[in-house]
Amino acid sequence: MATMTMVKALNSGLRRILEENEKALIMGEDVGLLGGVFRVTDALQKDFGSERVIDTPLAESGIIGTAIGLAMRGYRPICEIQFDGFVYPAFDQLVSQLAKFRNRSGGLISLPVVVRIPFGGGIGAVEHHSESPESYFVHTAGLKVVTCSNPNDAHWMIQQAAAGDDPVVFLEPKRRYQAKGEVDTERAALGLHQAAVVRPGSTATLIAYGPTVDVALASAEAGVEEGHDLEVIDLRSLSPIDWEPLRASLRKTGRAVVVHEAPRTLGMGAEIAASLSEECFYSLEAPVLRVAGYDVPYPASRLEDDYLPNLDRVLDAVDRSLEH
């Protein structure tokens, strides 16, 4: 076991990918000489060369389009989109080409491309630097979508994503980049698309992913003082979702609250609430509730604390659930 920040854990995972597969390469804006704006790729170009850690032009569509061509030729590109709000110029390449090509070729051609996207708010950034675009990609058949919430998952999930033959959108919660945690460098505890019960409980289930897992855990700890024993589930994979731990938890608690930073309307919480209501109706003691970002453009940094889900909003939802 080693203690690392999430940045260091991702860097370590990427280093292992490059060491173990000569066809793997990293590409994106400032990933080489600078080591990335968050330093996730620090020193990788120095150690592996500029032909495997490639500084690209500032052109997100070109980054993904080039990666698609490389994947067709047998390479395994790992692309970095510097900030979440800059992924949209590449949207057509992602949803029309990367997601569709395996189906279009009848399964003959796979595109093992990983697209790393720092996402979410909480860092006091300017406009276009604090987006939560996950629902766009989850809605797109042909893409896998995953997100880590702690250094151990970051270290292993990036390796698992790069090892598969499907395109993966890999979301990294930027406000958790400097969070430290224990990393088991010998083996992964879970598969890429498995959810994790990170805190067992019996009163209600908090379902979160990426940056809101920490919010859910803090809410569960604070809830103890109010007599709540809250279970917390980290989804980890948004497409596909690992439904069985969620169903098992609802059979136990009868109540659920979904927490995410993205706007509420048609967010992940909507799909989770609808599916659990269909599949676990007779186990539910109350409607599945959502605590999410508001349906407005992400606000200026001085207002983001009012926009983001927090402990008080989560516990208020728990209280409303328990009123039923």
Q: Tell me the two tokens of residue 300.
A: 């200026």
> 295 and 265 in contact (C-beta within 8 Å)?
yes
Strand-pair category, 237-239 with 144-147 = antiparallel
pLDDT digits (tens, 9 = 90+) for 299-316: 999 999 999 999 999 999
pLDDT of residue 324: 82
Asked if residue 111 lies in contact with residue 79, where contact means CB atoms within 8 angstroms, the answer is no
What is the dotted CATH code of the domain comprising 196-322? Answer: 3.40.50.920
> How much is the pLDDT for 247?
98
The answer to whether 2-183 and 196-322 have equal CATH topology is: yes
SS3 280: coil
| Residues forming the active site | 129
CB neighbour burial string for 108-137, b if at least 16 within 10 angstroms, e if fewer:
eeebbbbbbbbbbbbeebeeebbbbbbbbb
Question: What CATH architecture does domain 2-183 belong to?
Answer: 3-Layer(aba) Sandwich (3.40)
Strands 53-55 and 24-28: parallel
Q: Which residues pair with 27 in a beta bridge?
A: 54, 79
Tell me, what's the pLDDT at 6?
98
Task: Round to whole Å and give the CA distance between 200 and 230.
Answer: 7
3-state secondary structure of 288: coil
- Non-local (6+) Cβ contacts of 118 within 8 A are 38, 81, 82, 83, 84, 172, 173, 174, 177
Ranges in the chain, pLDDT < 50: none
Inter-residue contact 166 to 110 (CB < 8 Å): yes
Integer Cα distance of 218 and 157 in angstroms = 24
158 contact partners, CB below 8 Å, separation of at least 6: 10, 13, 14, 17, 78, 114, 116, 148, 170
Residue 234 has a pLDDT of 98
Q: How far apart are CA 298 and CA 126, in angstroms?
A: 10
Residue 222: what pLDDT?
A: 97
* Residue 183 in tokens: 């990393």
Domain boundaries along the sequence of the chain:
2-183, 196-322
What are the start-end ranges of the H helices in the chain?
Answer: 6-20, 44-48, 60-72, 91-92, 101-104, 134-138, 151-163, 212-223, 243-253, 268-279, 304-307, 311-322
What DSSP letter does each residue of 175-214 carry, written as one string?
A: GGTT-EEEE-SS--SS-TT--EEEE--SSEEEEE-TTHHH
From the list 176, 177, 216, the residue with the least C-alpha distance to 196 is 216
Distance CA 106, CA 101 (A): 8
